[in-house]
Amino acid sequence: MRSKLLFLICTAFLCGCHNDDEQQQVNPPQQPSHEQVKEALIKSHQMYVKQEADEITQYIKQHGYAMQGLSTGMYYMITEHGKGEQAAIGDFATLSYSINLLDGTVCYDSKTEGPKQVLVGKDAVETGVHQAIELMHAGDKGLFIIPSYLAQGLVGDKDKIPPGSVVVYNITLLSVKKQKAADTNSK
């Protein structure tokens, strides 16, 4: 009797599970397709980029800057022209700088951290900084507004630059030094 009862309970349980499986197969939960997810992410990113561009434009207007924009979304103006050589990819550029948020908060400054040397186009610094340096000659001073996707991105620097922040760089290009052929081979 016990074995028959146990058999009936197990059968009822298995049949119940089987019916649930059949029900799920008939009406599976709606999952978005890969294309739908991709389109939603692209649309979300485009909206974020537009919002950031609007913030940058508003900042420029508030300060009365006459800045030029690049197709990448970065804005700049050279405030003082030097007479030195123009920086190019592969050059060593030494710069003094300050990095601010749009609200004026100073994040980093070469006065406290010292000048920075960058191998243009190759060092692990923000893409926007490489673009900025390539626009400059030794002795130039410039103001650069760099959107988050060319700066620290959606995660920030996990220290002083918050996630998704537009940054304002004040850069003075102190010197440009061409990389020697021997230096190129060792890299």
pLDDT of residue 4: 45
- Banded model confidence at residue 94, pLDDT cuts 50, 70, 90: very high
User: Is 132 a residue whose pLDDT tops 90?
Assistant: yes
For all residues of the chain together, what is the average pLDDT? 84
Strands 106-109 and 141-146: unpaired
Tell which residue, 172, 143, 13, has the closest CA to residue 75. Answer: 143
**Contact, 91 vs 115, CB < 8 A?**
no
Residues above pLDDT 70, as percent of the chain? 81
pLDDT of residue 8 exceeding 50, the answer is no
User: What pLDDT does 111 receive?
Assistant: 94
pLDDT at 134: 95
Residue 49 exposed, middle or buried by CB count within 10 Å (0-12, 13-18, 19+): middle
Q: What is the pLDDT averaged over residues 128-144? A: 95
Q: What is the CA radius of gyration of the chain?
A: 28
Cβ 97 vs Cβ 116: under 8 Å: yes
| Tens-digit pLDDT profile for residues 50-63 | 999 999 999 999 99
What domains lie within the chain, and their CATH numbers? 47-181 (3.10.50.40)
Q: What is the mean pLDDT of residues 26-49?
A: 84
DSSP one-letter code for 110: H
Is residue 22 within a helix (H) or strand (E), and if so which, with residue range?
Answer: helix 2-26
Task: Look at residue 10 in the predicted model and tell me its pLDDT.
Answer: 45
DSSP single-letter state for residue 107:
E
Q: How far is CA 174 from the centre of its chain?
A: 26
Cα–Cα distance between 165 and 174 in angstroms, integer? Answer: 27
The pLDDT of 11-23, averaged and rounded, is 49
Residue 113, classified by CB atoms within 10 Å of its CB into exposed (0-12), middle (13-18) or buried (19+), is: exposed
Element (H, E) at 53: helix 34-63
Give me the pLDDT at residue 26, please: 64
